[in-house]
Chain A
Amino acid sequence: SQKIEQNSEALNIQEGKTATLTCNYTNYSPAYLQWYRQDPGRGPVFLLLIRENEKEKRKERLKVTFDTTLKQSLFHITASQPADSATYLCALVPTSGTYKYIFGTGTRLKVLA
């Protein structure tokens, strides 16, 4: 079956450290993969997109990598701050042409002061 899994349901880290979140998928050949942030009771907010032919993307303190051989994307937040505490969702677009975003299970990140 087709699955997208984010390996940690919850992740606690100390302020200032780098948070690394993982997104693994099976049985897809995604055209691209995206990361979203979601705060409680709010809609997800788009953060970064990475295409299948890109290895790495950066935006300020955020970095995303994409390994199509391992079928994995890593999402890094450097110099983490308590304000980064939220749920982070990965979403992929299969190359099947349906253009349906499929969301991962999410990781709840808590940055401790």
Chain B
Amino acid sequence: DTEVTQTPKHLVMGMTNKKSLKCEQHMGHRAMYWYKQKAKKPPELMFVYSYEKLSINESVPSRFSPECPNSSLLNLHLHALQPEDSALYLCASSQDRGSSHGYTFGSGTRLTVV
């Protein structure tokens, strides 16, 4: 299995809702990442997990809460989002945090906040 699987593919949520994005990989990668991408912009790093521990938080608002239950799973919990949080949320993984083999990205979750 050489894929990163993200669910759901699309999500519409209200500003008072709580939802979660899920990411899964079975490549034995020990680093996992969340990126946010707005239309026609490059991906922006949000969080980095290395060996299931949070190692980088790019000053992301607390309404985004990451969780890494085990080495294969990464979640992003969403609460009280704003319309400007609408974007493509990408999960990625790599062999380790300093891997020179590139990231494997999922197809993303298209999030719309209404």
Say whether A and B bind each other: yes
Listed in ascending order, the chain A residues whose CB lies under 8 Å from chain B are 31-32, 34, 36, 41-46, 49, 51, 89, 93, 98-106
Contact of A106 among B42, B102, B106 (CB under 8 A): B42
Q: Is the interface of B mostly helix, strand, loop or mixed?
A: loop
Count of A-B contacts with CB under 8 A? Answer: 54
B residues near A93, Cβ cutoff 8 Å: 98, 100
Contact of B103 among A98, A101, A105 (CB under 8 A): A101
A residues near B40, Cβ cutoff 8 Å: 106
Listed in ascending order, the chain B residues whose CB lies under 8 Å from chain A are 4, 40-45, 48, 56, 58, 88, 90, 92, 97-98, 100-108, 110
| Distance from A100 Cβ to chain B, minimum over Cβ atoms (Å) | 6
Identify the closest chain A residue to B9 (Cβ).
Answer: A41
Known: A49-B100, A105-B42, A106-B42. A98 touches B56 (CB 8 A): yes
A32-B100, A102-B45 given. 13 additional CB < 8 A pairs?
A41-B107, A43-B108, A44-B103, A46-B103, A46-B104, A49-B100, A49-B101, A89-B42, A89-B43, A99-B98, A100-B48, A100-B56, A101-B103
